[in-house]
Amino acid sequence: MAKHHKKPPGIEAIADIWPSQQPGKSVALLKALHILTREGALNADSRRKLKQVLHLTQLLRPSLEALQTGPDEPVLADLGAGKSYLGFLLHELVLGPAGRGRLVSVEVRTELIEASRALATDLGIERMEFIASSIAEATAAGGRVDMVAALHACDTATDDAIRFGLRHEAKVIALVPCCQAEVAQLLKSQEGPLHQLWRHPIQRRELGAHITNVIRGLVLEAHGYKVRVTELTGLEHSLKNELILAERHQRSNAQAKSELDRLIDQIGVRPALLDVMA
């Protein structure tokens, strides 16, 4: 009779969503991150978060693999990192197996950075660096970052991530924006032929978020990035689901700049991010 091998707790919980052949290897990390419980269970909230982070990791993998072929060790930055789930999983699934590359986590909440740093030390991870700072004030050691990711960085922190990416001349910038209030607020006092589009607060919020992301895409295009905008995962996993993935392929793009200028003229609002166009 065939022997029944009981799998250690945890593997069953993640086997169907884990992208590598060896989910068992990562169970300890997922428990340490409290994504899996001590008993190896995955609750609905953690499952949603894990799916988003894994999906983003997989979407970034081709760009990361391309960066790995360059002469310099790639440097990644996870901005508004929270508990650094994205950083730890990028390390676990991509940088660790490649044996090359560094990851910098930037998070304004010092206690989260201290906990992540302690966890990295416990796990013997040496190629992750943790900076307790606002994104606006953070600078990566050496001043070079190849890839910037900002997953649900609140409101205008996503714009700070764009500024950080431009300041460090990042080759890839991946943004999954969170809530946005700035443009909705600017629209409130904006009259003009289109004002019916933002008369009601809920529509103003939605339209404000949409306009913000359109402007972010055009700003990146004007700086020479090729921009793709897609869904990150199904809406059942998160309502904040728009991925703006930008890869630099030229120094600047005058046509995108004039499209941006035209849009700003038509809508009549000027979010602070336009300072990077000066």
Binding footprint of ligand SAM on the chain (CB under 6 A):
80-82, 85-86, 106-109, 134-135, 151-154, 157, 160, 178
Taking residue 218's Cβ as centre, other Cβ atoms within 10 Å add up to 22
Q: How far is the CB of 196 from ligand SAM (least distance, A)?
A: 32
For ligand SAM, the closer of residues 34 and 249 by Cβ is 34
Residue with the closest Cβ to ligand SAM? 82
What is the C-alpha to C-alpha distance for residues 210 and 24, in angstroms, rounded to an integer? Answer: 40
For ligand SAM, the closer of residues 232 and 267 by Cβ is 232
Q: How far is the CB of 241 from ligand SAM (least distance, A)?
A: 12
For ligand SAM, the closer of residues 109 and 199 by Cβ is 109
Q: How far is the CB of 235 from ligand SAM (least distance, A)?
A: 17
For ligand SAM, the closer of residues 238 and 253 by Cβ is 238
What is the C-alpha to C-alpha distance for residues 204 and 211, in angstroms, rounded to an integer? Answer: 10
Phi, psi of 98 (to 5 degrees): -75, -20
Q: How far is the CB of 159 from ligand SAM (least distance, A)?
A: 9
Phi, psi of 253 (to 5 degrees): -145, 100
For ligand SAM, the closer of residues 35 and 222 by Cβ is 35
* Strand-by-strand arrangement of the 128-132 sheet: 128-132, 102-107, 75-79, 147-151, 172-176, 242-248, 225-231
Q: How far is the CB of 67 from ligand SAM (least distance, A)?
A: 20
For ligand SAM, the closer of residues 84 and 253 by Cβ is 84
* Cα-trace Rg, the chain: 20
For ligand SAM, the closer of residues 106 and 140 by Cβ is 106
For ligand SAM, the closer of residues 92 and 221 by Cβ is 92
Strands 242-248 and 172-176, how do they pair?
Answer: antiparallel
Residue whose tokens read 């884990």 = 18
Which of 187, 159, 190 minimizes the C-alpha distance to 175?
159
Residue whose tokens read 């910098």 = 104
What the block records as the tokens of 167 is 């300041």
What is the C-alpha to C-alpha distance for residues 153 and 164, in angstroms, rounded to an integer? Answer: 13
Which of 88, 75, 59, 275 minimizes the C-alpha distance to 175?
59
Q: How far is the CB of 63 from ligand SAM (least distance, A)?
A: 18
What is the C-alpha to C-alpha distance for residues 23 and 143, in angstroms, rounded to an integer? Answer: 35
Decide if 102 contacts 76 (C-beta within 8 A): yes
